[in-house]
Amino acid sequence: MGMGHVPQDSPRAQGARAEFQRPQHRRTARQQHLANQARARFAEDLVAAWYEREGYTIIARNWRCPRGELDVVAWRRGVLVVCEVKARRTTNFGDPFEAITPLKMQRLRRATAAFMSARPSLPSPVGQIRFDAASVLGARVEVRIGVA
């Protein structure tokens, strides 16, 4: 019927054993999700430690509201800093900073407004709000100050 030739032998290479012919086992979606959460938590820990070394006080971490999430919120001398943290194991899927899009920045601004109205008890009046971005590749931290 024109179906072509179907070999009767197994498609395995000459002399290869069965355990080398199985498809590679990959993480389940749940395992991958947990690994990504752990990487994000580790990255946020590194970035928060960086801000503390620079003399900032960490006000909040992973603050959530219906408008979005703020990864790290820090404070120093009347400046409220909102930092978006992006973590990657490698740059195979691009630089972590590329994941911070204008839409993401808009969500950060809205979430920051919600944060300000929900937490009026800051150490002193807010003179300035600054948005930073942090990239964590492996264990290397890079912080870009005032990205928006």
List pLDDT tens digits, range 8-31. 655 555 555 555 555 555 668 788
Query: What Å distances lie between residue 120 and 59, 69, 138, 143, CA to CA?
Result: 12, 18, 36, 27
* pLDDT surpasses 90 at 52: yes
pLDDT at 10: 57
The full set of domains in the chain, from first to last, is: 27-144 (3.40.1350.10)
- Predicted local distance difference test score (pLDDT) of residue 48: 92
